[in-house]
């Protein structure tokens, strides 16, 4: 294994178990490791620190282990099993009412660069690094060992997330299928709500599992309300609102495929058609034409406006504009669930954008709750960057 030597005094973050080595911290790399190879990281005075996946770029090493040997034959099974056991411990695996969850949340589960979502026996894997992409067969074997006969399929959906490098065959497809399994779709339960998930055609791994708890909060407050779900994707919040007793829900997304799935999910849950309307439209333009006071519960869950630091300023302005429009339009006594999934927009910055939005409208606005990502999107305490989803529940008079 090749070695990476850090510059003097650059080992502190690794000694605090932060899982990334930035290229600027490196003094020397021995040999000529290929991208995705395991390398051993040493301090400037030759002390062993950690082992991880090497990659050319700003994050040069993603650490897999500070003490164990990632080349050990049982390494992947051990790590996947640890992630699985945590989901058993939170009551997610084995729950009768929830049959989908995130099994591996990258750094949060000690596996930087790897996402695995579980949909009722189907594991959908997304590699975000060359190392994880190259390890996918070993990861698939680990999933078979952990889930045993209950594993229906392992689907690799890395084409949109793995860095494009020559020699990597970025084509999505099955790494494993149990005999007779020949579909790209399944029905999952989330807190008793039913959803079709299509990992081949859908966005990300097929479903946004990170909103589970926040959807439940919408379900609890929806009774008797007229709901607007902006950026609805396949209708997660809409289904919970209807099951929670909403009078009517309007769902809006610009993706035709997503809106077709909303309609299928409505039928799957058996709601009377007059309780729901689908709009394939730009959410911002839709909101502009909404009459004041029409809705008394709104969900605003846009895609990440800032994908990197350079886009932060514009993103904050966009969050402010969008939230101002929602706060201005919601009926007195209405709720606004507003979110940001941009990792570079932290809680404080988001709250400030929403505060500016409220001030712009001049309405009385209370923050009733601060919303987060759920337990299966675990944040490694040594890697606060893993916290990305934040939201506020507003009560507007
Ligand atoms: N709330 C959803 C997840 C939202 S993801 C859930 O619970 O599952 C963001 C969504 O915004 C995606 O479905 C994407 O298609 C949609 N989108 C992106 N830009 C949009 C726009 N300008 N107007 C409407 N929808 C948009």
Does 259 contact ligand 1 (Cβ within 6 A)? no
Quick one: pLDDT at residue 165?
76
Does 208 contact ligand 1 (Cβ within 6 A)? yes
- The structural domain count of the chain equals 3
Of the pLDDT bands very low, low, confident and very high (cuts 50, 70, 90), residue 70 is confident
358 and 302 together in one domain = yes
In this structure, are residues 172 and 155 in contact, taking their beta carbons and an 8 Å threshold? yes
311 and 231 together in one domain = yes
DSSP state, residue 255? -
Of the pLDDT bands very low, low, confident and very high (cuts 50, 70, 90), residue 306 is confident
32 and 141 together in one domain = no
Quick one: pLDDT at residue 166?
66
151 and 273 together in one domain = no
Does 210 contact ligand 1 (Cβ within 6 A)? no
Quick one: pLDDT at residue 366?
98
pLDDT of 206 > 80? The answer is yes
54 and 143 together in one domain = no
DSSP helix/strand/coil, 64: strand
Measured from the Cα of 236, ligand 1's closest atom is 7
Percent of the chain clearing pLDDT 90 (strictly above): 94
Tokens 């990992």 belong to residue? 199
**Which of 119, 254, 373 most suits a substitution to test ligand 1, by most atoms within 8 Å of the C-beta?**
254
37 and 107 together in one domain = no
pLDDT tens, position by position, 275-287: 999 999 999 999 9
384 and 314 together in one domain = yes
Does 303 contact ligand 1 (Cβ within 6 A)? yes
Does 391 contact ligand 1 (Cβ within 6 A)? no
Of the pLDDT bands very low, low, confident and very high (cuts 50, 70, 90), residue 67 is confident
pLDDT tens, position by position, 80-117: 999 999 999 999 999 999 999 999 999 999 999 999 99
Protein residue with its CA nearest to atom 20 in ligand 1: 254
Nearest to 317 by CA among 275, 365, 284: 284
CB atoms within 10 A of CB 265: 23
CATH number for 26:
2.30.130.10
353 and 229 together in one domain = yes
**Which of 231, 234, 252, 315 most suits a substitution to test ligand 1, by most atoms within 8 Å of the C-beta?**
231
Nearest to 337 by CA among 247, 266, 241: 241
DSSP helix/strand/coil, 306: coil
Does 282 contact ligand 1 (Cβ within 6 A)? yes
Protein residue with its CA nearest to atom 22 in ligand 1: 282
Quick one: pLDDT at residue 309?
86
Cα 375 from Cα 213, distance rounded (Å): 9
163 and 304 together in one domain = no
By residue range, what is the domain housing residue 87? 75-187
Of the pLDDT bands very low, low, confident and very high (cuts 50, 70, 90), residue 313 is very high
**Which of 215, 253, 389 most suits a substitution to test ligand 1, by most atoms within 8 Å of the C-beta?**
253
Quick one: pLDDT at residue 231?
98
Q: What mean pLDDT comes out for the span 19-48?
A: 96
pLDDT tens, position by position, 140-171: 999 999 999 999 999 999 998 988 776 778 89
174 C-alpha to center of ligand 1: Å?
A: 27
pLDDT of 217 > 90? The answer is yes
Of the pLDDT bands very low, low, confident and very high (cuts 50, 70, 90), residue 130 is very high
Does the residue 181 lie in any domain? yes
Return the beta strands (E) in the chain as ranges.
2-6, 20-22, 26-29, 38-42, 48-54, 59-65, 100-105, 114-119, 122-127, 153-156, 173-177, 185-190, 193-198, 226-230, 248-253, 276-280, 297-300, 334-340, 365-372, 390-396
For the chain, the average pLDDT equals: 96
CATH number for 133:
3.30.750.80
């Amino acid at each position: 294994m090749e070695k990476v030597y850090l510059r003097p005094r650059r080992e502190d973050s690794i000694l605090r178990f932060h899982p990334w080595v930035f290229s600027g911290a490196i003094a020397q790399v021995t040999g000529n490791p290929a991208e995705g190879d395991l390398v051993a990281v040493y301090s400037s005075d030759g002390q062993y620190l950690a082992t991880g996946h090497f990659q050319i770029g700003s994050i040069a090493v993603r650490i897999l282990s500070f003490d164990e040997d990632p080349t050990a034959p049982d390494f992947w099974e051990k790590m996947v099993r640890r992630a699985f056991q945590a989901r058993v411990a939170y009551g997610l695996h084995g729950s009768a009412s929830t049959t989908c969850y995130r099994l591996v949340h990258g750094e949060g589960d000690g596996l930087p660069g790897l996402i695995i979502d579980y949909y009722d026996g189907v594991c959908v894997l997304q590699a975000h690094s060359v190392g994880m992409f190259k390890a996918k067969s070993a990861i698939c074997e680990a999933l078979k060992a952990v889930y045993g006969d209950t594993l229906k399929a392992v689907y690799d959906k890395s084409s949109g997330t793995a860095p494009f490098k020559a020699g990597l065959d970025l084509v999505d497809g099955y790494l494993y299928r149990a005999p007779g399994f020949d579909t790209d779709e399944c029905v999952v339960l989330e807190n008793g709500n039913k959803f079709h998930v299509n990992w081949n055609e859908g966005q990300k791994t097929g479903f946004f599992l990170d909103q589970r708890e926040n959807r439940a909060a919408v379900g609890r407050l929806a009774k008797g309300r007229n709901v607007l779900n902006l950026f609805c994707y396949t209708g997660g919040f809409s289904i919970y609102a209807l099951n929670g007793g909403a009078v009517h829900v309007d769902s809006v997304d610009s993706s035709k495929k997503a809106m077709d799935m909303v309609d299928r999910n409505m039928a799957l849950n058996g709601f009377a058609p007059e309780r729901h309307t689908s709009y394939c439209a730009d959410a911002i333009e839709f909101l502009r034409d909404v009459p004041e006071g029409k809705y008394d519960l709104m969900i605003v869950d846009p895609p990440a406006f800032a994908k990197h630091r350079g886009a932060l300023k514009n993103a904050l302005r966009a969050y402010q504009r969008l939230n101002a429009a929602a706060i201005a339009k919601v009926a007195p006594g209405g709720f606004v669930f507003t979110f940001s999934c941009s990792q570079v927009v932290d809680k404080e910055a988001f709250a400030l954008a929403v505060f500016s939005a409220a001030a712009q409208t001049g309405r009385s606005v209370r923050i009733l709750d601060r919303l987060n990502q759920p337990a299966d999107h675990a944040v490694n305490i040594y890697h606060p960057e893993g916290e990305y989803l934040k939201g506020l529940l507003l009560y507007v008079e």
